[in-house]
Amino acid sequence: MNEPVPDNAGLPEDVPLATVRRGELVESVHRGRLAVFDPRGDKIEALGDSEAYVYLRSSAKPLQALPLVLSGTADAIGLTDEELAVACASHNAEEPHLAAVRSILEKAGLSEDDLQSGAHLPMYGPAADKLVCKGEEPRPIHGNCSGKHAGMLAVCVHENYETLTYRDPAHPLQRRILGLIAETCGVPEDGVLVAGDNCGVPAFALPLRSFATGLARIATGEELPDQLAGAALRIRDAMRAHPSMVAGTERFDTELMEQTHLLVKGGAEAVLAVGNFEGWGMALKISDGSQRAVRPVALAALEHMGVRMGEGDSIVRGLHGEEVGEIEALI
Amino acid sequence: MNEPVPDNAGLPEDVPLATVRRGELVESVHRGRLAVFDPRGDKIEALGDSEAYVYLRSSAKPLQALPLVLSGTADAIGLTDEELAVACASHNAEEPHLAAVRSILEKAGLSEDDLQSGAHLPMYGPAADKLVCKGEEPRPIHGNCSGKHAGMLAVCVHENYETLTYRDPAHPLQRRILGLIAETCGVPEDGVLVAGDNCGVPAFALPLRSFATGLARIATGEELPDQLAGAALRIRDAMRAHPSMVAGTERFDTELMEQTHLLVKGGAEAVLAVGNFEGWGMALKISDGSQRAVRPVALAALEHMGVRMGEGDSIVRGLHGEEVGEIEALI
């Protein structure tokens, strides 16, 4: 856990976690790594190399939102739980998401123009279609990370940090986030690797098992200093209270939080973060980055951990509605 | 090459073929299998298990179009080379594709209503947007396989086969296609595994090396009976003469055929078929089915085979246009 950033880009040992069957044969296979750890950093389960690094991507958002609570910003400007949840979201850009992001910005005395989250079409198909058919270009607020960026900007205003440069890894807010991620996950600051995320803020990489440990801690508040524990639990509770703000319609994170007592946050390149308040965190990475494998593998792993949420395997249907295959978890 | 269909669904041995790097670390990895064989079935290169089966998916389309020529249908109804090419296509549903498909159907005395290719939005984004914004549902003609289905229907009319049931694996046309695939690739008919393709016709699986051998044969006409060789070369030449009919705007198959002398046909779940008239066929399967790995791996493999087509590695850019990583071939 105290190892510094590795100086080579070796490929971590992974294992087949799901197959895509067509007819009698496996057509495609998804490998990956899975780590389930408790708040003290003790292993409960591991498949593949859990020492190797993983980019947390958007599954770091609950951690990236910690300064919003810890700095007193959330209280000072009166953020609601919905707004805290959208600050941790990879949202669909449905109306309630956009309204919550705008509200954070307004409460901070800012506007959409201050967002530097980068523009992409809404993740939710009908929301994207609506924009396209109106002939409108997507704006930064439609980006799935706009809540995170709004939350970051609000902290900057409250802390008198520069708002124009908030994306810079050397900016005091980004340094503070890195420190909190390191502290929560139990790694030294120089053990957190930083690269660029697609929305322009730092992306963080950690050993998979450190991330799982951190998830166990934010889901329980255990093994964290009191103030940090309090902020973690407030974020956990806000996300749990408003699962639809964290992702949205037809999204796995939302569905899984609605049907269980878990804290759930997915990320790009097929990362999934799960925290259970009973005392464990689960970090999953599908090696090839395919989102389609996340759901069946996660549900199988959760069932193994005693959390049952219906059928995990996914039928693959052809264009005539007929079954042509199935995505099946191997665990 | 004479082994029957394996009775288990084991996972074939594959090797890492491409990495997705972010910053200093590999974020994701794509494994796969690659086979380069000559028309006699002799190995030139192989990575991973080339005996294991692969579903050809849409990369079988040039083979599935063989009866269109062999039966005399193409000559009898006066198909153009563009129309032959679209019968081998996974097309974008751009206007020239739709016009060619309609023309095949008309020449056969049929109409769009006879297509059973299943409906999905055009593969080409702007064509899909146009349909969505007009409030129209996609029709079977927009499906990327509609040219293949139109060609199949034309053969049925010419041969007095039933047109309503042409998708059935037991239909005489589908039996004939299976026989021609087996013959071209040098496997016994019961060595070709059949499952359902998403568009509702049979999907075929073969040993990877048999497929590579078949590709070498259709690209050269070698090791095939005269009539079959003639049909293969006619299809090859039609596809080579009209690369944009085989896929379309911004598509790798089209780009690769336009810039080289190769025969190229991709398929779902990250299969790529390449034939070189100088005497080899290359079959590639990315194990996890990710299309993004096909281009860099194919270009690296082709360069190894002496076909250079510019830079294969692909920069990954964030939403602000900045480089955040790169997809790099490992071969």
What is the arithmetic mean of pLDDT over A11-19?
96
What residues in B contact A193, CB-CB < 8 Å? 23-25
**Which value does ipTM take for this structure?**
0.95
Residues 290-309 of B with CB under 8 A from A: 290
Nearest CB to B29: which of A120, A287, A320?
Answer: A287
| Closest chain B C-alpha to A307 CA, distance in angstroms | 27
User: What does the pLDDT average to over A147-160?
Assistant: 98
% residues pLDDT > 90 (chain A): 94
Query: Which of A32, A178, A307 lies closest to B27, judged by CA?
Result: A32
B118 token code pair:
């299943």
Dihedral (CA of B296, B300, B306, B308) sign: positive
Give phi and psi for B21, each to the nearest 5.
Answer: -95, 140
Residue of B nearest to A269 (CA): B28
Q: Which residues contact B209 (CB under 8 A, 6 or more apart)?
A: B1, B35, B37, B41, B43, B46, B50, B51, B283
Is the pLDDT at A7 greater than 70, yes or no? no
Q: Is A35 helix (H, G, I), strand (E, B) or coil?
A: strand
pLDDT tens-digit map of B50-82: 999 999 999 999 999 999 999 999 999 999 999
End-to-end CA separation in angstroms for chain B: 26
Higher pLDDT, A9 or B189: B189
Q: Which residues are CB-neighbours of A91 under 8 A, at least 6 positions away?
A: A97, A101, A123, A144, A146, A147, A245, A246, A247, A248
When CB atoms are compared, the residue of A10, A193, A270 closest to B23 is A193
Interchain CB contact of A164 with B (< 8 Å): no
**Average confidence (pLDDT) per 10 residues, chain B, 331 residues:** 42 96 96 98 97 98 98 98 98 98 98 96 96 95 98 98 97 98 98 96 98 98 98 98 98 96 98 97 98 96 91 84 93 90
The proportion of chain A whose per-residue pLDDT surpasses 70, expressed as a percent, equals 96
> Of the candidates A277, A174, A207, which has an alpha carbon nearest to the alpha carbon of residue A235?
A277
- Determine the pLDDT at residue B299: 95
b vs e for B171-210, b when ≥16 Cβ sit within 10 Å of the residue's Cβ?
bbbbebbbebbbbbbbbeeebbbbbbbbbbbbbbbbbbbb
State the alpha helices, DSSP H only, in chain B: 61-64, 66-70, 73-76, 81-87, 95-107, 125-133, 146-158, 172-185, 208-220, 226-241, 243-246, 252-259, 294-304
Calpha distance B148→B131 (Å, rounded): 22
Going by pLDDT thresholds of 50, 70 and 90, the confidence category of residue A312 is low
Q: At what angle do helices A294-304 and A252-259 cross, to 10 degrees?
A: 20
Band (pLDDT 50/70/90 cuts) for residue A308 is confident
pLDDT band of residue A314 (cuts 50, 70, 90) is confident
Q: What residue type is B242 in one-letter code?
A: H
The answer to whether A324 contacts B29, with C-beta atoms less than 8 Å apart, is no
Task: Check the CA dihedral A11-A16-A20-A22 and report its sign.
Answer: positive
A37-94 pLDDT, tens per residue?
999 999 999 999 999 999 999 999 999 999 999 999 999 999 999 999 999 999 999 9
206-245 in chain B: CB under 8 A from chain A: none
A250-265 pLDDT tens trace = 999 999 999 999 999 9
Task: Give mean pLDDT, residues A292-315.
Answer: 90
CB contact under 8 A, A318 and B118: yes
- Find, among B65, B109, B73, the residue nearest to B218 by Cα: B65
Contacts 24+ apart (CB under 8 A), A95-100: A96/A244, A96/A245, A97/A146, A97/A147, A97/A245, A97/A248, A98/A141, A98/A142, A100/A147, A100/A245
Report the pLDDT value the prediction gives residue A1, as an integer from 0 to 100.
32
Q: How far is A154 from chain B (nearest CA, A)?
A: 21
Q: Which of A14, A22, A208 to mutate to test the interface with B (most CBs of B within 10 A)?
A: A22
Separation in Å, CA of A118 to nearest CA in chain B: 5
Tell me, what's the pLDDT at A313? Answer: 67
CB pairs under 8 A between A and B: 153
What is the rounded distance in angstroms from the CA atom of residue B263 to the CA atom of residue B257? Answer: 6
Question: Which residue out of A8, A27, A206 would a mutagenesis test of the B interface target, given it has the greatest number of B Cβ atoms within 10 Å?
Answer: A27
Q: How many CB atoms lie within 10 A of CB B111?
A: 11
A-chain CB neighbours of B11 within 8 Å are 16, 19, 26, 29
Q: Which of B25, B200, B320 sits opposite A205 (nearest CB)?
A: B25
Tell whether B48 lies on the interface with A, counting CB pairs under 8 A: no
Q: What share of chain A is helix, strand, coil (3-state, %, to 5)?
A: 40, 20, 40
Closest listed residue to residue A293, CA positions, set B28, B58, B217: B28
**Using CA atoms, how far apart are residues A204 and A196, in angstroms rounded to an integer?**
8
User: Is the CB of A269 inside 8 Å of chain B's CB atoms?
Assistant: yes
- pLDDT tens, position by position, B282-317: 999 999 999 999 999 999 999 999 998 877 668 899
3-state secondary structure of A222: coil
Asked if A114 and A152 count as a contact pair (C-beta separation under 8 A), the reply is no
Residue of A nearest to B198 (CA): A318
Phi/psi at A285 (5° precision) = -135, 120
Distance from CA of A164 to the nearest CA of B (A): 15
Each residue of A88-146: pLDDT tens digit?
A: 999 999 999 999 999 999 999 999 999 999 999 999 999 999 999 999 999 999 999 99
HSE-up (13 A, CA, CB side) for residue A138? 24
Position A155 pLDDT exceeds 50: yes
Two structure tokens written together for A118: 């980068």
Kindly list the residues from chain B whose CB atom is less than 8 angstroms away from the CB atom of residue A198: 318-319, 324
Mutate to test the interface with B, among A17, A26, A30, A145 (most CBs of B within 10 A): A26
CB-count burial class (<10 Å; 0-12, 13-18, 19+) for B30: buried
Alpha-carbon gap, residue B246 to B59, rounded angstroms: 11
What does the pLDDT read at residue B6? 44
